[in-house]
Chains A and B, each alone.
Chain A
Amino acid sequence: MSVDVAWAIDWVRRSAQTISEHRDELVELDRQIGDGDHGENLDRGFRAVVAKLDALEEPPAEIGDVLKLVATTLMSTVGGAAGPLYGTAYLRAAKVTGAAELDSAGVVALLEAALEGIVARGKATTGEKTMVDAWSPAAEAAVAAADAGGSPADVLAAAAKAAAVGAESTVPLAATKGRASYLGERSVGHLDPGARSSELLLADAAAAAAA
């Protein structure tokens, strides 16, 4: 069993749709503890990604090509911290997915590379109320699911589930990285918008694999 280029494209299109639907929610989350632009920025970024996908004459040959298109587009269009953070995540993921299909181990490699990209760019670790709090448990759950013999869809479902729990775990935390860190203790009690958008994107990866 494997996921292919069509899955990657479906994931990206679903992501754009989801981010658009959750735009106001993400704006509101970011308004509470940040600069209030996360939803708008990501929505603009993913719209640009879809426009570029639509403009392709034929689908890319490899999953990595799709992810690289997402990476470079988000970097140049998002305009906030999410641009370089997600951009680097997709870029690192692209580097390990130079194939037309991925098995479960390949999907794990994709998720681990994305996590490494976010950590390298943001210099954050778990417990700092950031995207890492969603991606880190997601990557761990993916490894466990693959080790247990799960299919790529199982691996992505496990990752998505863990990301949702991880995102929720940011609520009681005080931010120590990013714009929210200026608020310190006042950031306690709020869901981190980056962790929330990470959860949404991983849910779409799973949904595309299950479709």
Chain B
Amino acid sequence: MSAPGTRDVARVALVLVSHSHDLAAGAVELAGQMAPGVLLVPVGGTPDGQLGTDFDGIERAFAQATADGRSAVVLMDLGSAVLTAESVLDLADEDLVARVRLADAPFVEGAVAAAVTAHGGADLDAVLAAAEGAGRMYPVEKSDVVPTTLPDDGVVRETRTLLNPMGLHARPAAVISRMLASYDAKVTVNGVSAASVLALMKLGATQGTELRIEAEGPQAEEAVKVFVTEVERGFGEI
């Protein structure tokens, strides 16, 4: 899939429904800057320019966004915008309903994430997922974890430096074992089982110690990811 050029329009459009005309227009401006190839349709305020949601305007926006075979992801700013968008879909014909998704996403971050994803040529589900994942943008960005899987042995490995001034004492050890219990993965730290609070404490890891995290199993990647995130935030102690 190649990114659409200036003459092409991405196959997924966005409809940005706000109570405010200016907010909808501003979100379109912001998202459009990063995704010039995506059709972004703002619907903001009532027809007479007051704050509110515009049923007929949303209906028209859905029609415009889904014209020419496109599908559309809809971002909404507050409860009544959601209720109104749902009502429009309730009364719309099946063909349109099948091509429109209402995103449970933060309005601005969701619009930007969805627009950029749509600009890359992604399909409806991927654009929706980008919008809905946008609420978690900051925590994910902070840890910036991309676990590496070596194809030969299926083990996920990461190395991080222990930041806690008091080292890997009882509380963080307990955090680790409790946190990993919900994942279907066998995790070790510097060769000892991360499921065992005592084993972790016996490592005697002090601030600055390199922690070698290794995991195997169906959820190895996820387990390593949450582990690394906790190490980087000092288990909430820094």
Contact = CB atoms under 8 A, between A and B. Distances in A.
B56 interface: yes
Interface in A109-125: 121-122
A35 B84 CA distance: 16
B46 A79 contact: yes
Interface string A138-179: 000000000000000000000000000000000000000011
A42 to B, nearest CB: 12
Contacts of B50: 37, 79
A2 to B, nearest CB: 30
A84 B83 contact: yes
A87 B50 CA distance: 20
Nearest to A37: B52
B80 A81 contact: yes
By DSSP majority rule, is chain B's interface helix, strand, loop, or mixed?
Answer: helix
B22 to A, nearest CB: 16
A41 interface: yes
Contacts of A79: 46, 50, 52-54
A33 to B, nearest CB: 14
A75 B80 contact: no
Nearest to A178: B79
Contacts of B183: none
Given A79-B46, A88-B90, A122 B54 contact: no
Interface of B: 46, 50-56, 78-80, 83-84, 86-87, 90
